[in-house]
Amino acid sequence: MRIEPGEAAVLIIRRSEAEPTKYWTAVRKATSSFDPTTNDVQLFDQVAVLELGDRLPLAEALENAIATIRSIEP
- List pLDDT tens digits, range 9-64: 999 999 988 888 999 889 999 999 999 999 999 999 999 999 987 788 999 988 98
Residue 64 confidence (pLDDT): 87
User: How far is 24 from 7, CA to CA, in rounded Å?
Assistant: 23
User: How far is 23 from 48, CA to CA, in rounded Å?
Assistant: 17
The answer to whether position 28 is within a domain reads: yes
CA–CA distances in Å: residue 40 to residues 3, 4, 7, 16, 69 = 19, 19, 14, 27, 21
The answer to whether position 51 is within a domain reads: yes
Range of the domain at 23: 7-70
The answer to whether position 1 is within a domain reads: no
The answer to whether position 2 is within a domain reads: no
Total structural domains in the chain?
1
